[in-house]
Structure 1
Amino acid sequence: MKPMNTMRLAALSLALLGGAEVAMASEVTITAEFRPSSTNTRFTNTTPISGFCNRWPNRPECTGGAQSNNHSIDLGIEYIKKTFKSAPDPRDRFYVSLPGSKSVEVRNSTSGEIHGLNFSMSKYSAHVDGAAPGITNPVYTTAVQGGCSYIIALGQSGGIGWVVVLWDVRNPENPTPCHSTSNTGAAGTEMDVVVKEFSIGYALQTPNPLAMRAGLYTGEVNYSVGENGEIALGNMVTNLNTNSLKIKFELDVRHALEVHFPANSDKVILEPPGGWMRWLNGGPAPEKLVRDLPFRITNTGPLSIYMECEHPTGRSCGIQNTRNSEIAALDVAVSLPGGIQLNNGQAVQRFPIPTGRARPLHVDAVTPVFNQPGALHFATAAGEAAEMVKNPGDTYRGNVTVVFDALL
């Protein structure tokens, strides 16, 4: 499985083709992984930090750990924007409009299983370089207007020069455009600013990993970038290095599955409930021969259980008389801890195990289960024991393989 702790950012450049400016697409990857433990039932964000959290790692917007939604990523967008102080049209000021939240399907690369995640942009940051005599940079202000609020700004010479700004997007689900204007100078004062280090804070609402089969899930979302794109930059934008942004998602799910049986559990000896003495002393033939086989299980995800039979008998397994090859059918069932349930939410108690990989028993991990008890229940089918004891001394044997499969 490919590692998930990488972020790719496509090379961004301006090329000339027949005299026309060509902008390359930008691409970033957001990664997360699920590694279960007794205290962890959530995805952990493994995307390397880039963007404003590299500059301000100790700010509240950047703390809380890998399972918080305090993360930033540099989108690699660069451009020049012509701004006018206090312009009647906000798009002529410093302006940015971010898209609303997106639902994204992620697909298991092996099984094709699909789940959904939600992605939204909750913060905006950029390095804005602008110089005009006696005029502050248009982002060097606490009076941010529209759908954003001021968080912090660091500037050169009191904001006359470059400024690095961080804004809060007040409604990430459905944001409205954000804009700002210089604190100094006359209305209409013009300034060209160079924008780089364009980054966002983002919130990632991931699926429930307990309901996902193990594997790598991938998906993507695409945004247009430009004056009127889904990521809109306002009027009079030039030298834009990308006209589209692709954000790829990779969710790596690795479940824990361990089933431990006691020593010598490879042989199961069937006998009547309470033993053979009643029958040996002239009592009636036993109704069935039984044996329970305990085990302990650790499991954190969907699970399939089925049997493979040396001696199939319709929908179950059997054991064979070593003298005359007659087959006696078995009933084989399983009991599991309460954290593992049937798809309809019922407990798994003495539930029959089907034969064959094509139609397994599907169960779900409602809560993580670590080293908890379960059992296999073996019994001869109705009427078989009475026939078997008609020939005292005969031996019945057969192999029954019970498969616990986290990938099926």
Structure 2
Amino acid sequence: MKPMNTMRLAALSLALLGGAEVAMASEVTITAEFRPSSTNTRFKNTTPVSGFCKHFSNAAVCQSDESKSIELGIKYTKETVSRDPDTRNRFYVGFPGRQVVDVARAGDSPSQLYFSFASFSAFVRRVSGDGRIPNAGRSVSGGCSELHAAFYSDIRAINLWRINNPDVSSHCYVNSALEGEGVQAVSNVEEFSIGYNLVAPNPLAMRAGIYTGEVNYSVGENGEIALGNMVTNLNTNSLKIKFELDVQHALEVHFPANSDKVILEPPGGWMRWLNGGPAPEKLVRDLPFRITNTGPLSIYMECEHPTGRSCGIQNTRSSEIAALDVAVSLPGGIQLNNGQAVQRFPIPTGRARPLHVDAVTPVFNQPGALHFATAAGEAAEMVKNPGDTYRGNVTVVFDALL
């Protein structure tokens, strides 16, 4: 028998790359990756930090892998009227609720991630008018509250607001009692960034590879990302957020030395038959191995002497072929698609119809076994010609990509 194929597969990551301005469109990418270990079963956000976390690096919201900031490339001019009864005339923003986003490898059924806006920041420079910078008011109303006190000077300010319920549509505006009513200003929003919540799929249920997806939002006075009234010089009317998940699974299968040859014999040995006993019902051999695996796995056989449903071994003298039954047992962390344990489960032949199993929990260097046995009735025929030799190559493939 040929040695088993072993492979180590590439990990899944999800990345968000940064804001890019294209005429009337803004696009950013969020990235994350899965690198398995005995203690890690989750994606790690690998998106480069941009936006408010450059300014509020010590804020708690900037310490979490699950909630980082990203600058969206949205720039505009906003005229504001302090404490205006129409809150859209104040410094105002609105965001949609949580989105379900399909991410998929080429040709695969999609997995789903959940994305929502968790916080908001703007770097605002006043170009005319009096009073405070429009986004510097500490009293925030609507669907937001202050997450960090604004940094501000006479002409510019950067705010950081929490979106109180990221799952639903939220509209937020300054409601500062320190401002007089009706104070007008014109300001440029030079940096528009958000913190986000990203709930990635379970990487243990995803095959190795790159998964991509995207979600699109309209941007404008009344867009899904809403900027309120009296907006001019808006550089984009849409925002595309792209997602890239890189999944790399660990897959290693190790066999003892000299495992490339499997010698079949009756259970308990040949002595009973040599001493005049009945022909053995079967010839068997178990081949132990140790496996590390953290994701879905496909197993199949390739045969030198196919017998239709399985592999065979050939009589070197007569060319007759005896069929084999080949099965696999795997650690408890790897199960059949229906949740059953993989114990002496038959291995199919051919890449087109492999045995699919799932990693319920990561498995590191745990024991498994291949079970070889002659099919029913074959052993009795084989021993009718004492001294004959049967040989054949059976290649068992462990594939995390199928």
Give the shorter-chain TM-score range: over 0.9
In the alignment, is residue 198 of structure 1 matched against residue 208 of structure 2?
Answer: no
3-state SS of the aligned residue for 1:279? helix
Contact 1:135–1:184 (CA under 8 A) maintained in structure 2: no
Residue of structure 2 in register with 1:70 after alignment: 67
Query: Residue 4 and residue 175 in structure 1: after superposition, are their counterparts in 2 closer, same or farther (change >3 A)?
Result: closer
1:81 aligned onto 2:78: yes
Is 1:90 the counterpart of 2:90 in the alignment? no
Tell me whether 345-354 or 320-329 shows the greater mean CA deviation. 320-329
1:97-176 superposed matches below 5 A? 97-109=94-106, 111-130=107-126, 135-157=131-153, 160-176=154-170
Distance 1:205 1:156 in 2: 33
1:170-207 per-position Cα deviation (integer Å, ceiling 9, x unaligned): 01010321001454454222111211211000000000
- Per the alignment, in what secondary structure is the counterpart of residue 236 of structure 2? coil
Match of 2:325 among 306, 315, 331: 331
CA distance in 2, matches of 1:72, 1:130: 24
**Cα distance, 1:10 vs structure 2:** 1.9
Task: Write the distance in 2 (CA, Å) between the matches of 1:255 and 1:155.
Answer: 44
Q: Which amino acid aligns with 1:313?
A: T
The residue number in structure 2 matching 1:390 is 384
Greater relative contact order structure (CA < 8 Å, 6+ sep)? 2
Partners of 1:37 and 1:248 lie apart in 2 by: 27
Q: CA RMSD in A?
A: 1.7
Which piece of structure 1 moves more, 206-215 or 182-191? 182-191
Q: Provide, for residues 213-243 of structure 1, a one-character-per-residue CA deviation record: whole Å limited to 9, x for no partner.
A: 1100001111110000000000110011111
Q: Using the alignment, how far apart are the partners of 2:16 and 2:224 within structure 1?
A: 26
**Pairwise CA distance, 1:85:** 1.5
When residues 73 and 130 of structure 1 are mapped into structure 2, their CA distance, relative to the original with a 3 A threshold, is: same
The 1-side partners of 2:13 and 2:332 are apart by 33
Asked whether 1:353 is paired with 2:347, we answer: yes
* Structure-2 separation of matches of 1:327 and 1:284: 22
| More deviation, 125-134/99-108 | 125-134
TM-score of the superposed pair, with normalisation by structure 1? 0.93
C-alpha displacement at 1:131, in angstroms? 5.8
Say if 2:244 is the partner of 1:250.
yes
Partner of 1:51: 51
Aligned-pair distance for 1:151? 1.8
Match of 1:207 in 2: 201
Measured against aligned partners, the alpha-carbon deviations of 1:98-147 in whole angstroms (never above 9, x if no partner) come to 111111111103x4331110100000001122266651123222210100
Is 161-170 or 128-137 further displaced after alignment? 128-137
| Residues 339/113 of structure 1: CA separation in 2 closer, same or farther (3 Å cut) | same
Structure-2 change in CA distance of 1:326 and 1:168 (3 Å): same
Q: Distance in 2 between matches of 1:295 and 1:142?
A: 64
Is structure 2 residue 175 aligned with structure 1 residue 178?
A: no
* Aligned counterparts of 1:28 and 1:232: Cα–Cα separation in 2: 18
1:4 CA drift (Å): 7.0
Rounded to whole Å, the distance in 1 between the matches of 2:168 and 2:176 is 27
Distance 1:136 1:127 in 2: 14
Report the alpha carbon displacement of residue 7 of structure 1 after superposing the two structures with TM: 1.4
Superposed CA offset, 1:252-276 (max 9, x none): 0111111111111111000000000
1:359-401 Cα offsets, whole Å, 9 max, x none, are 1100000001111110000000111111111111111111111
What pairs with 1:308-319 in structure 2 (closer than 5 Å)? Answer: 308-319=302-313
Cα deviation for residue 11 of structure 1 reads: 3.2
For the structure 1 residues 297 and 161, does the alpha-carbon distance in structure 2 shift closer, same or farther, using more than 3 Å as the test? Answer: same
Q: Give, in whole Å, the separation in 2 of the partners of 1:204 and 1:268.
A: 50
Per the alignment, do residues 163 and 226 of structure 1 end up closer, same or farther by CA in structure 2, a change over 3 Å counting?
A: same
Q: Does the CA-based 8 Å contact 2:334-2:360 persist in structure 1?
A: yes
Contact 1:25–1:243 (CA under 8 A) maintained in structure 2? yes
**Aligned residue type for 1:71:** K
Structure 2: state its 5+ residue gaps: 1-9
Unmatched tracts of structure 1, length 5 or more:
13-22
AA aligned opposite 1:39: T
- SS of 2:33's partner is strand
- 1:318 maps to a residue whose letter is G
Q: Is the 8 A contact 2:18 2:72 kept in 1?
A: no
Q: Distance in 1 between matches of 2:16 and 2:167?
A: 27
- 331-340 or 129-138, which moves further after superposition? 129-138
